[in-house]
Amino acid sequence: MTATAETTAATETPRDFRLIDSTLRDGSHAISHQYQVDQVVKIVEGLDAAGVQVIEIAHGDGLGGSSFNYGFSAVDEMQLIEAAVNATTNAQIACLLLPGIGTKDELKKVRDLGVGVARIAVHCTEADITEQHIKMAKELGMEAIGFLMMAHMNTPEGLLEQAKLMQSYGADAVYIADSAGALTTNEVRARVAELVGGLDVPLGVHAHQNLSLAVANSIAAYEEGARNLDGTSAGLGAGAGNCPTEILAAVCEKNGIYSGVDPLKLMDVAEEITRPLMVRQQVVDRAGLLLGYAGVYGSFLLHAQRAAERYGVSQADILLELGRRKVVGGQEDMIIDVALELAKKHAEQEVTA
Amino acid sequence: MGLPVAIIGSGNIGTDLMYKIERSDLLDLVAVIGIDPNSDGLARAKARGYEAPHNGIDWVAENPDAVKLVFDATSAYVHRKHDEVFERLGIIGVDLTPAAIGPKVIPSVNLMEHLDKRNVNMVTCGGQATTPMVFAVRRAIDHLPYAEMVSTVSSKSAGPGTRQNIDEFTRTTATALEEIGGATIGKAIIILNPAEPPILMRNTVFAALPEGSDHDAVIESVYEMEKAVAEFVPGYRLKNRPVIEEGPFHTPGGVVPHRAVVLLEVEGAGDYLPTYAGNLDIMTAAALRVGEAFAAHQEVSA
């Protein structure tokens, strides 16, 4: 346990927004769900000491995500969650759950471990499948956050309708997640303005870096009234990565937005803990950019790379075809489907040539 | 003269099943029973000359000798009440809801095993689509430590029942992969896709192959199973060739060197529901198959 003497609730200035750190959940995609207990403990201690209020942890695809389709966790997520709960002093621990992948059983288990916040995630047009899970989170005494993924695939008005459903189930806040990192800043502004205007509960934004806009989009979201923002240490996350928390904190300070987190401490965590465990740098390379360009779910990146190698086809072609097919988050099996079809097409072309 | 049957529940599933029973030589449809006098399903049933009462289970109780078997396409909650009436009257219940009072039936695997039971359950759409392939892998190898299915259905074809109780889908399906498919541990995942035009139902089966598994036998068994299911679900097919991928894979059933990947597509027959709703079509087609097996069995034993 790390003592954080400088942040006692009694003396703290109210924060302009709440930062939720997802290094241990979204970041899990970038290391193919290989987190170890000691890494979790170090990250939680570092973030907690830097003043982060909520730390999310789970398999990248949420509770119960460990699978052939999404990759098996190296360590049982319940063990990692328990370690995170034990390592935190002030920060609350959050979990993400996608109905259809995880179930209410996992929600009960993590509540018993001491998790206080449940984020219930769903494709941005299917909010009605979250009703039971949001209600259960409330019954268990947790904060419940509705999380609308792939927000580029719905209009501002459509998103508001979905967010209102979540609000009606009892959600304490609603997020829109740019899971494909496909939204431009103007598109983020339009969506946030519509939702902030129409909801009674606070709005959050979860940004990705595929178009190099994660920090800019998060600041724009704040300016339009979003009061929860997501990020990860060093941007560790699906696709080209998430909004890097240390950069967001630095930009906020320069803009006079009080985040309540210490940019210098977050820089230390990013440099000394997160970067050393990365297996690849979080950069906007061709594949990362293609995700944002074609509007493809960020966590498909590494799965598409493996399928491309396995079947001798181009990762870029796989991602573009997935975009054309309008696949949604969770359909990782379609990567193999597309790779096999591309390989078949190549073979046929060779025969006719 | 076939076995006299009724359908209770005049929604999408019940109405689709009506068209399928119409073509059966072994079943005689007597009534389509609903509760909403203005439902499209009841109007269609009436137009085709069937009894179309809207007093629900009361009709069955008032006409105890009219039918020998009822297909229940209502909901789990309602089916539990219906089952009491079926039991009292000695009527066989084929349950298309997630109530799962009776044993689960996947026609291409265990059709004949439960013809002496008075209530059988049709699992889930995804269970009907993927359990046969899990079983196909299992019969070709010594043991199957872990199997997983991913089902993607179009948002338009997922009704309120599925949406409000999505955990029931994953639990029931995972259990079927274990109990009927033969996997030691089963996992089920369901995804809804809102694309327009709606996508056909897609299902993927991943199966853990322990050291020493005969890969050619697995592939051959999968192709055989495709044929067996397509016999009664004509739109059931392998979307791509089954593949064996190299790991290692750290499954909950232990580390295995390979996995089999079976990519399936189900195109509906378009009887009442559009062809994209393969998920509903495979349920009604499987239920019809079960109903016909009961009819044939009764004829033999009579």
CA torsion, ordered B104, B109, B110, B111, to nearest 10 deg: 100
In angstroms, the CA B267 to CA B1 distance is 31
Q: Is the pLDDT of residue B300 over 80?
A: no
Cβ B192–A126 below 8 Å, yes or no?
yes
Q: Which chain A residue shows the shortest CA-CA distance from B239? A: A337
* Rounded CA Rg of chain B: 19
Domain identity same for B156 and B263: yes
Q: How far is CA A193 from the centre of its chain?
A: 21
B263 to chain A, closest Cα gap in Å: 7
Nearest CB among B160, B164, B259 relative to A68 is that of B259
Angle between helix B40-47 and helix B12-22 axes, rounded to 10 deg: 20
Residue B163, both tokens: 């949406």
* DSSP H or E stretch at residue B187: strand B183-193
Position B302 scores a pLDDT of 59
Q: Is the pLDDT of residue B98 over 80?
A: yes
* DSSP H or E stretch at residue A44: helix A37-49
Q: What are phi and psi of B179, to 5 degrees?
A: -70, -40
Cβ B240–A101 below 8 Å, yes or no?
no
Q: Cα(first)–Cα(last) distance of chain B, in Å?
A: 14
- For the domain made up of A18-277, give the CATH fold: TIM Barrel (3.20.20)
In angstroms, the CA B281 to CA A345 distance is 31
Angle at A336 between CA A332 and CA A340, to 5 degrees: 155
A303 class by beta-carbon count within 10 Å (0-12 exposed, 13-18 middle, 19+ buried): buried
In angstroms, the CA A339 to CA B247 distance is 17
Q: Is the pLDDT of residue B247 over 60?
A: yes
Q: What are phi and psi of B242, to 5 degrees?
A: -65, 140
Cβ A330–B191 below 8 Å, yes or no?
yes
Which candidate in B125, B129, B199, B295 is catalytic? B125
CA torsion, ordered A133, A138, A142, A146, to nearest 10 deg: 50
**SS3 call for B119:** strand
Sign of CA dihedral A80, A85, A86, A88: positive
A222 to chain B, closest Cα gap in Å: 29
Chain B residues in contact with A69 by the CB 8 A cut-off are 148, 150, 189, 204, 206
Best CA proximity match to B187, nearest among B151, B211, B152: B151
Domain ranges in chain A are 18-277, 299-352
| Inter-residue contact B10 to B33 (CB < 8 Å) | yes
Q: Is the pLDDT of residue B120 over 90?
A: yes
Residue A45, both tokens: 């201690």
Mean pLDDT over residues B179-186, rounded?
98
Chain A residues in contact with B163 by the CB 8 A cut-off are 126, 128-129
Cβ A337–B239 below 8 Å, yes or no?
yes
Residue that is written with structure tokens 């997640």 in the block = A177
Position B41 scores a pLDDT of 95
Chain B residues in contact with A340 by the CB 8 A cut-off are 240-241, 243, 263
Nearest CB among A125, A330, A331 relative to B155 is that of A125
Architecture of domain A299-352: Orthogonal Bundle (1.10)
Residue that is written with structure tokens 């018993």 in the block = A112
The number of distinct structural domains making up chain B is 2
Contact residues, chain B to chain A, C-beta under 8 Å: 148, 150, 152, 155, 160, 163-167, 169-171, 187, 189-195, 202, 204, 206, 208, 239-241, 243, 245, 249-252, 259, 261, 263
ipTM score above 0.90: yes
Q: How far is CA A238 from the centre of its chain?
A: 8
B66 to chain A, closest Cα gap in Å: 39
Q: What are phi and psi of A280, to 5 degrees?
A: -150, 150
| Inter-residue contact A182 to A152 (CB < 8 Å) | yes
Mean pLDDT over residues B13-23, rounded?
96
**B90: alpha, beta or left, given left = phi > 0 and alpha = psi -120 to 50?**
left
Which residues sit opposite B148 in a β-bridge?
B187, B206
Position A353 scores a pLDDT of 64
Cβ B191–A328 below 8 Å, yes or no?
yes
In angstroms, the CA B167 to CA B152 distance is 15
Active site residue ranges of A: 29
Residue B243, both tokens: 């593949």
**SS3 call for A150:** coil
Cβ B191–A331 below 8 Å, yes or no?
yes
- DSSP per-residue string spanning A330-349: T-THHHHHHHHHHHHHHHHH
In sequence order, which residues have a C-beta less than 8 Å from that of residue B276 and are 6 or more positions away? Answer: B154, B156, B157, B197, B198, B199, B200, B201, B267, B268
A101 to chain B, closest Cα gap in Å: 5
Q: Which chain B residue shows the shortest CA-CA distance from A332? A: B150
| Inter-residue contact B258 to B247 (CB < 8 Å) | yes
Domain identity same for B70 and B154: no
Cβ A126–B204 below 8 Å, yes or no?
no
pLDDT in tens, chain A (353 residues): 444 444 445 567 899 999 999 999 999 999 999 999 999 999 999 999 999 999 999 999 999 999 999 999 999 999 999 999 999 999 999 999 999 999 999 999 999 999 999 999 999 999 999 999 999 999 999 999 999 999 999 999 999 999 999 999 999 999 999 999 999 999 999 999 999 999 999 999 999 999 999 999 999 999 999 999 999 999 999 999 999 999 999 999 999 999 999 999 999 999 999 999 999 999 999 999 999 999 999 999 999 999 999 999 999 999 999 999 999 999 999 999 999 999 999 888 887 76
Cβ B166–A99 below 8 Å, yes or no?
yes
Angle at B133 between CA B127 and CA B136, to 5 degrees: 135
**SS3 call for B88:** helix
* DSSP H or E stretch at residue B275: none
A205 to chain B, closest Cα gap in Å: 22
**Strands of the B119-121 sheet, one edge to the other:** B27-33, B3-8, B69-72, B92-95, B119-121
Q: What are phi and psi of B172, to 5 degrees?
A: -60, -40
Cβ A327–B193 below 8 Å, yes or no?
yes
Q: Which domain holds residue B94?
A: 3-123+282-301
Which residues sit opposite A160 in a β-bridge?
none
CATH of the domain at B222: 3.30.360.10
Mean pLDDT over residues B249-255, rounded?
97
Question: Among this protein's residues, is B38 annotated catalytic?
Answer: no
pLDDT grade for B140, boundaries at 50, 70 and 90:
very high
Return the DSSP state at A152: G
- Positions of E strands within A7-116: 18-24, 54-57, 92-97
| Inter-residue contact B286 to B268 (CB < 8 Å) | no
Mean pLDDT over residues B215-243, rounded?
97
Chain A residues in contact with B167 by the CB 8 A cut-off are 99, 103-105, 132
Cβ A340–B263 below 8 Å, yes or no?
yes
Chain B residues in contact with A103 by the CB 8 A cut-off are 167, 170-171
Q: Which chain A residue shows the shortest CA-CA distance from B194? A: A125
Position B298 scores a pLDDT of 84
- Positions of E strands within chain A: 18-24, 54-57, 92-97, 117-123, 143-149, 173-177, 203-206, 228-231
A79 to chain B, closest Cα gap in Å: 15
Chain A residues in contact with B148 by the CB 8 A cut-off are 67-69
Q: Which chain A residue shows the shortest CA-CA distance from B163? A: A129
**A189: alpha, beta or left, given left = phi > 0 and alpha = psi -120 to 50?**
alpha
Best CA proximity match to B159, nearest among B73, B79, B237, B275: B73
